[in-house]
Structure 1
Amino acid sequence: MKKIIILLMAVCLVVVFSLSLLAVGKDIAVLTPYLSSVTTNTMIESFREEAEKEGWEITVYDTKGDFNELANRYEDIIAQGVDAIVMGMGDPNQLKKQIKMANEAGIPVFGGDAGYIDGIQCNVTSNNYILAAQNTSYLLDKINGGKVVKFYHSAHPGVFKREVVFDAIVDSRDDIEVVAEHFVQVPGPIEDARQAMQSILLANPDIDAVWAAWDEPAIGASLAIQQAGLEADIIVFGIDGNSQALEMIKKGSPIKATVKQDFAAMGTILVEQIKRVFAGKEVSDKIIYAPSILVTESNVEQFITD
């Protein structure tokens, strides 16, 4: 009996050791249309750092907002036979064919702040409904009625959820008027938002606030407001908590609040879930949320790092 127990323990050790060896040397492709975004870059770099500790080879492909090129790169990567694919943001609904191809090739696909559809192992993200509820509610409490400008980007599934929440909350208020909307172009969201805000201000100099679906258009809008000398009259609210937005809140710019997402945590969680799949286990959940927190002038200091 003792010999059998020893033999079973030895077999278990061999299996565990073999699985650990199989996970080393994996080739993982990260594909994104948004690498120029500060937040996308933060998440991907966090993922790369943690993944390389596992001995994985990470290659990042950026199509600079070109979704046709993104689909082509997916097909190229699948043909190369990588061990896993990470969607670095982007809408999986536009890549159903490619995700199906990856599944048929036995390549697991993971979402990093993308979206979830059948065929993806899991999507690691923030709860975008909550993000939008936090910044929209805070904005409307601050102005207590008035004229608002909306900056959005429906092409990103998470950002679209924020827009849906904003619209729903605003529609419930008779004292709020959305006087202008702008679909923000990516790449180059800061400059695009700055130019759009300049034009909006010419037609609507008496607005009260700007709602931006993420920080970069909030930054662009804020710059335009400052250039127009209206920083005392218009407040701006974003989402993400990127370093530039935090600094602008601290310095008293028109940006008064953002909701800070933990993009570094997203990268770490992605690695944990990929490890599970490489080890033959199921992912923890199909959609996994990283934490977030509302940042305002009252607490911004604790989120700024030197």
Structure 2
Amino acid sequence: MKRIAKISLSLMLAALMVVIAACGGKAGNGSNAEPSAAPSQEAGAAATAGSDLESLKGKKIALVMQFNTGTFSAQYVEGVKEQVEKFGGTVKVFASDNDLVKMASNLDAAINQGFDGILLDHGQASALEAGAKKAVEKGIQVVSFDSDLNVDGVPLLQQDDQKMAELTLQQLAKDAGGKGNIVKVWVAGFAPMERRQIAYKAFQEQNPDMKEIAAFGNASNPQVDTQAQMKAILTKYPNKGDITAVWAAWDEFAKGAARAIQEAGRTEIKVYGIDMSDEDLQMIQDPNSPWIASAATDPKDIGRVQVRTLYKLFKGEEVDKVTTLESVYVSRDQLPTDKKINTTELSEYVEGWGSSQQNYEDWMKELEGSN
């Protein structure tokens, strides 16, 4: 019996040693242990990043616009749609026909229809603040462009309006030799216009011999209205030299003024504008047009940067409260004379135009590539 007991004890000890060795090998505690089959930190991070990007696909975006007049707005919308589609999302445009009450109603509709994100184009805080706060409270991300909105959690994009005004006004004064009579086409009540007016007032103080002889502007049907009012001013000042130049604070104003001047055969009067579209560029290239220069940001880039800012919010990244978009000065003498170009080709002739990389992150390129 003792012999059998000793043999049984020996067998039990041997079996126990095998179990311990096997467990140690699986835990990787031995010096010759095989590598663990668990995923590496790098692989885990990659899987998490991939999951984050997947969650960004299929987003529904509302674009709520105060107005969608003219080719500049049309190209801005193109930029928004292009970038959202590259990210795998969809866009619905709510146009408000320059009616702030309607714009506030459209913002409420976008909130109630369950969009993931809302882009605001222009508008005023008085009409948009309540809706923007409501959207934020509901967890809807909001990004505004060219408004005076000041709501926590809602970043703003704006053009460098004062710089654009300064660029055109400085060149106007230089071309006129610092002396002459000018017509201003401008309208109050819009954040970008108010910023441009700051530069205009400084220009007046710095150039006392540049006299403003007329000022007007209407945001409703702006091109046609400007053309009619400019025609009346030309009748009031019929002689060559009565008017030196027109400063137009919006490309829709510049188009209307330029057409009235050209029709009247008064092309000694030069037009300096702000903003740029394909249609604008064709007019500036026309040697018979009085519109000779404009300062602008690529409207498609504006749309793209606004969308990128929204997607940074979707991903939980920090975003600047205000993003100021880069702008350039475009004049006729920079452009080719042997062919017509569009804004897509403008970067070949004007340094700094188009292809903005603002708020464009590396992961966005990966998101675009996966769609």
TM-score normalised to the size of structure 2? 0.76
Amino acid at match of 1:300: L
Aligned counterpart, 2:110: 77
Aligned-partner Cα distance in 2 for 1:147–1:5: 78
Query: Do the aligned residues in 2 keep the contact of 1:262 with 1:290 (CA within 8 Å)?
Result: no
Aligned counterpart, 2:219: 185
Q: Quick check: 1:135 aligned with 2:168?
A: yes
Aligned-partner Cα distance in 2 for 1:163–1:120: 28
Aligned-partner Cα distance in 2 for 1:184–1:224: 16
Aligned-partner Cα distance in 2 for 1:23–1:99: 22
Query: Do the aligned residues in 1 keep the contact of 2:84 with 2:91 (CA within 8 Å)?
Result: yes
Question: What's the CA shift for 1:38?
Answer: 1.6
Question: What's the CA shift for 1:4?
Answer: 9.2
Aligned counterpart, 1:99: 132
Aligned-partner Cα distance in 2 for 1:263–1:197: 26
Aligned counterpart, 1:246: 281
Bigger mean CA deviation after superposition, 125-134 or 15-24? 15-24
Question: What's the CA shift for 1:108?
Answer: 1.4
> Once superposed, which parts of structure 1, at least 4 consecutive aligned residues long, lie more than 6 Å away?
none
Q: 1:86 to 1:121 in 2, by over 3 A?
A: same
Q: 1:158 to 1:120 in 2, by over 3 A?
A: farther
Aligned-partner Cα distance in 1 for 2:312–2:160: 23
Bigger mean CA deviation after superposition, 295-304 or 201-210? 295-304
Aligned-CA RMSD value: 2.2
Match of 1:21 among 54, 66, 69: 54
Match of 2:324 among 289, 294, 300: 289
Instruction: For residue 298 of structure 1, give the secondary structure of its aligned residue in structure 2.
Output: helix
Aligned counterpart, 2:259: 223
1:134-182 Cα distance to aligned partner (Å, 9 max, x none)? 0011111111211111111223211221122112211332212111111
TM-score normalised to the size of structure 1? 0.91
Larger radius of gyration: 2
Question: What's the CA shift for 1:109?
Answer: 1.0
Instruction: For residue 55 of structure 1, give the secondary structure of its aligned residue in structure 2.
Output: coil
Aligned counterpart, 1:298: 333
Q: What are the ranges of 5 or more consecutive residues in structure 2 without an aligned counterpart?
A: 1-27, 29-34, 346-371
Aligned counterpart, 1:122: 155
Aligned counterpart, 2:84: 51
Amino acid at match of 2:124: D
Aligned counterpart, 1:167: 201
Aligned-partner Cα distance in 1 for 2:168–2:230: 20
Query: Do the aligned residues in 2 keep the contact of 1:31 with 1:74 (CA within 8 Å)?
Result: yes
Bigger mean CA deviation after superposition, 59-68 or 2-11? 2-11
Aligned counterpart, 1:150: 184
Question: What's the CA shift for 1:26?
Answer: 1.1
Aligned-partner Cα distance in 1 for 2:266–2:208: 25
Q: What are the ranges of 5 or more consecutive residues in structure 1 without an aligned counterpart?
A: none
Aligned-partner Cα distance in 2 for 1:248–1:120: 41
Question: What's the CA shift for 1:14?
Answer: 3.8
Aligned-partner Cα distance in 1 for 2:38–2:191: 52
Instruction: For residue 245 of structure 1, give the secondary structure of its aligned residue in structure 2.
Output: helix
Aligned-partner Cα distance in 2 for 1:153–1:74: 24
